Amino acid sequence: YLYSTFRKRGLLRGFGCTPATPEYLPVETKLIDVPSLERLTGLELKALTPRGSQFTWQVAGLAVCAGEYVIAQQLGLDPMTVIPATAAVFLADRLVAQGAVFESVYRFFFPAYKQKVVQHEAGHFLIAYLLGCPIQGFF
């Protein structure tokens, strides 16, 4: 019933999202704070948080800097100009595109990452559903 109603209203255009306005949502927004989430699920918040991969990213960052340094020297460029320029590109991607460019490149080189992201986001959807939160959007 719900699917056909949304389809008739033109709200299901492939993968999209339903506007979070009262006319489209069956119930009000439901906010779940951390203590309530822990009580309802029986799990501590740290059990629901992705495992830290900070060290991996630090090593990857150092490897990129080292690689840039060597490549810049081989091309006759000043590494102390190239490395900050790359950092500026990453920062601009983060500020302007919320990291979408970096993530797209990362998914290209590491296809398994895409499946990991899909499973992670499905977890958000499942937890919201099980907690009785209205699903306001998806992509």
d(CA 26, CA 34): 24
Residues with Cβ within 8 Å of residue 99, at least 6 apart in sequence: 93
The rounded mean pLDDT for the chain is 76
Residue 16: band (very low, low, confident or very high) from pLDDT cuts 50, 70, 90 = very low
Q: What is the pLDDT of residues 125-139, one digit of tens each?
A: 877 776 667 666 665
d(CA 33, CA 132): 14
d(CA 104, CA 79): 26
d(CA 116, CA 10): 31
> What is the pTM assigned to this prediction?
0.49
Of 47-56, 70-79, 104-113, the range with the highest mean pLDDT is 70-79
Q: What is the pLDDT of residues 98-112, one digit of tens each?
A: 888 888 888 888 888
